[in-house]
Amino acid sequence: MAINLHVVIVPWLAFGHLIPFFQLSLQLAKAGIKVSFISTPASIKRLPQVPSNISALVDLVAFPLPSLDNQQLLPQGFEATVDIPSEKIQYLKIAYDLLRHPGKQFVVDQKPDWILADVTPYWVVEISQEHHIPLVYFSVFAAAVLSFFVSPTFVTGADGNKKMRSSPESWTSTPE
């Protein structure tokens, strides 16, 4: 039942993202699709074991997280949000953005059919466009959550005029 597709998966370095992307990878492999799951060595070590019946279709690709010049900002081995206090997540994002170059080289070498990416690796868009590879955004959030937090701040009020939502709480009542 080989489908002969190769998909590259690029999740954010938080286990609330890594685990859903990993589960998606397993389901794609069960459908006969080759998957390359890109993450960091420490994050990959924490993932569950890939079932032996699909292990040939799941490639866990470990890219070392580039270190920042100041080790105090992001100490070596701190490769996921679970490893660091919230005030240092900004430095994890900076280091994660440095995966752009090895990620691009991997795509050039492997020539996947699709890329499935999380919201954080904005640089994957450029890679997919440059190499004409379809890109899919996979959200770990339900559509209702996205519509609540990402939808426009202007809505149409009962009187037909555009109204602005002033706070998250304002989404729980009719716009005035």
Catalytic residues: 17, 118
Question: Where does 111-142 have alpha helices with state H?
Answer: 123-130
Give the Å distances, CA to CA, from 144 to 151, 162, 165: 10, 22, 17
Angle of CA points 24, 22, 78, to nearest 5°: 150
Distance of CA 109 to the CA centre of its chain: 21
DSSP state of 142: -
DSSP state of 94: H
Nearest-angstrom CA–CA distance, 147 and 37: 28
3-state secondary structure of 50: coil
